[in-house]
Amino acid sequence: MKRAVSKKCSKTSEAEEEEEEHLNSGLLHCAHLVLPWLTSLELASISLSCKFLNATSKSITLRRILDASRSLEKIPIPFHNPIDDRPYAFFLYTPTVIISNHHFERQCWGSISDFQSSHVESESMNLVDDWVSGVFGCDCENCGDFEFQCSCSSLDGLVDVASECGPRCSCGLECENRLTQRGISVRLKILRDEKKGWGLFADELIQEGTFVCEYAGELLTTREARKRQKIYDAHAKGGRFASSLLVVREHLPSGNACLRMNIDATWIGNVARFINHSCDGGNLATRLVRSTGVMLPRLCFYASRSISKDEELTFSYGDIRLKHEGLKCFCGSSCCLGTLPSENT
């Protein structure tokens, strides 16, 4: 009788272990599906609930540290923070400018299948090229041919405005005249500084004239930009918040008007949001790049000189300074004015 009871208990124990293993497997699967969609604060909060979720949260945090671009760029862009306990900066990633979309509030970041989920997501974004593309293009199929001069590749009247093939051109993304459309191709990293906060640095030697990245974010109307800037100014009074709202003005050849673009990378943007200001102009030159058949150009950054590995990437935010009590500038250049440029949005 005792042996029968012992055998029965053994079977019950094995069944319970199998059931527990099955539940853990299901929990693991759900955690890896749900947790990558959480913000940094939500992830930190849920990591305190149990050992299992704590371990899963740590693995997701590690993946986030290793690539700020959420696998939307060809080369991972890691975070490094030797200053404090902030492992990364949380924001939603877009490789190029998108139309302001208040429904774009979540994005997968930190899962094993980041690339697949992010790629599908990026395809569904309302891209500017689809919104403002015209009917004109060229018939070129191989602009990389050195004997062929693509009609889209000429510079516009201004030196700082260039043209590339557009969405209706016959050539593909491998075309040499679509350089800035292929994303970031140089190694970069994001480092935290005690005074500046996060900054973008070269992780390899970048030769003069090399395309580095474009300034990506939400394209806003001027009315919405002014509305947001008031909110950002109110948050900035505490000294721990800095917006990434950039106003770009392209003076038209006639000289009688200018085209204004408001690009906000504060919550949705790419790694260009981490590029800090330098009063001496920095080591990045800006150029407006227009794709044929597309009304609005993109603001792109190029190396204005050779940039060494581990050197910070900077550019000039502008010369206008209306707010003497504005944010302090820590660029460290010999001509530093002590305050970041600002103007009436």
Question: Confidence band (pLDDT; 50, 70, 90) for 124?
Answer: very low
Q: Which of 67-81, 96-110, 221-235, 319-333 has the lowest mean pLDDT?
A: 319-333
98-315 in CATH: which number? 2.170.270.10
Q: How far apart are CA 238 and CA 233, in angstroms?
A: 10
The answer to whether residue 120 scores a pLDDT higher than 50 is no
208: its two tokens: 């003069």
| Average pLDDT of the segment spanning 29-50 | 90
| Amino acid 246: pLDDT | 92
| Amino acid 250: pLDDT | 78
- Selected residue with higher pLDDT from 101 and 216: 216
| Average pLDDT of the segment spanning 213-242 | 86
Question: Confidence band (pLDDT; 50, 70, 90) for 248?
Answer: confident
The answer to whether residue 227 scores a pLDDT higher than 90 is yes
Owner of token pair 């550019």: 315
Burial class from Cβ neighbours inside 10 Å (0-12, 13-18, 19+) for residue 294 reads: buried
Q: How far is CA 2 from CA 6, 15, 16, 250, in A?
A: 6, 20, 21, 90
Quick check: 38 and 90 in contact, CB under 8 A?
A: no
Domain boundaries, the chain: 98-315
Question: Confidence band (pLDDT; 50, 70, 90) for 138?
Answer: confident
- Selected residue with higher pLDDT from 49 and 40: 40
| Average pLDDT of the segment spanning 88-99 | 94
The answer to whether residue 129 scores a pLDDT higher than 70 is no
Number of CB atoms found within 10 A of residue 38's CB: 20
327: its two tokens: 């944010």
| Amino acid 117: pLDDT | 46
The answer to whether residue 118 scores a pLDDT higher than 70 is no
| Amino acid 302: pLDDT | 97
Question: Confidence band (pLDDT; 50, 70, 90) for 150?
Answer: confident
Question: Confidence band (pLDDT; 50, 70, 90) for 161?
Answer: confident
| Amino acid 141: pLDDT | 66
| Amino acid 123: pLDDT | 47
Question: Confidence band (pLDDT; 50, 70, 90) for 272?
Answer: very high
Q: Is 302 helix (H, G, I), strand (E, B) or coil?
A: strand
| Amino acid 181: pLDDT | 93
pLDDT in tens, 4-37: 555 555 555 665 555 555 555 666 678 888 999 9
| Amino acid 156: pLDDT | 46
| Amino acid 50: pLDDT | 87
| Average pLDDT of the segment spanning 98-117 | 75
Question: Confidence band (pLDDT; 50, 70, 90) for 134?
Answer: low
pLDDT in tens, 301-329: 999 999 999 999 999 988 766 655 667 88
Question: Confidence band (pLDDT; 50, 70, 90) for 160?
Answer: confident
Quick check: 189 and 88 in contact, CB under 8 A?
A: no
Q: How far is CA 168 from CA 14, 135, 181, 292, in A?
A: 64, 7, 14, 8
pLDDT in tens, 178-220: 999 999 999 999 999 999 999 999 999 999 999 999 999 999 9
| Amino acid 233: pLDDT | 83
Question: Confidence band (pLDDT; 50, 70, 90) for 158?
Answer: very low
The answer to whether residue 80 scores a pLDDT higher than 60 is yes
